[in-house]
Structure 1
Amino acid sequence: MAPTPVAAALKGLCPRCGAPGLFKGLLDFSDRCKVCGLDFTTFNVGDGPAAILTLVLGAVVVGLAITIQLAYGPPIWLQMLIWLPVTVFGVIGSLRIAKAALLGSEYRTAAHEGRIAPPETLP
């Protein structure tokens, strides 16, 4: 039974059968599902999730850092001590979820690389 998109992304489940094992490492996809055999290498997740997360998480972290600086005025070393780990763990944790969600979305919509129609088929 196919999992819900949210469950598949949060738990790293196969989008076809719901078996665990979408990832073989922290951020690397397995080659295929051990249960149903779905080939994960045919999906092209690319750098989209990383780019979006960098922009969104970067904006949130900078906004919070500015707010704390203006409200409390801590030293810069304390700001760095707070925000560097928050940024690193935030990106890694959310990147795994975003990559799984994008792969699941590509599976559900049967997405594939765009192809240009041959000139003789155009009106």
Structure 2
Amino acid sequence: MNEFQKFAPGRLPIVRGLLGRCPRCGQGSMFRGFLNLRERCESCALDFGFADAGDGPAVFVIMIGGAVVVFVALLTEVVFQPPFWLHAALWLPLILTVTLLPLRMVKGLLIALQYHHRAAEGRLERRNDSQ
């Protein structure tokens, strides 16, 4: 395998996660529905039991999307001063767009990075200091 093939699109965990592909093989789909994970990869049979993105994807999407929407809404208010009904008509669809569209990609990315870095729950190891 040459250096280009090693880092070709689809081989990096970031690209696999954003595409919703299996973090190991890059072929099978990670998702069964919009956000529901499959039990295992349909191609390489990787068990997705390790995957626990928790609320991470939602937090990232809400923080970034919220900052974008608030900035644009404030800028629009200062420059154009539209009526409140127009604000509602503009920002409600934008909020839905900037939160729902990237949510699946961010969840796939976090799960692919968990797999790549072998992330797991923290465990305490007892040391024997009596020596």
Q: Which of 103, 109, 114 matches 2:117?
A: 109
Q: Does 1:90 align with 2:98?
A: yes
Q: CA RMSD in A?
A: 2.0
> What secondary structure sits across from 1:23 in the alignment?
coil
Deviation at 1:69, TM superposition (A): 0.8
Which blocks of at least 5 consecutive residues in structure 1 are unaligned?
none
Bigger CA radius of gyration: 2
1:1-123 → structure 2 map (5 Å cutoff): 3-120=11-128
* Cα distance in 2 for residues equivalent to 1:67 and 1:38: 47
TM-score w.r.t. length of structure 2: 0.84
Which blocks of at least 5 consecutive residues in structure 2 are unaligned?
1-5
> What secondary structure sits across from 2:114 in the alignment?
helix
Question: What stretches of structure 1 move > 6 A for 4+ residues in a row?
Answer: none
TM-score w.r.t. length of structure 1: 0.89
Q: How many residues align?
A: 122
More relative contact order in 1 or in 2 (CA 8 Å, sep 6+)?
A: 2
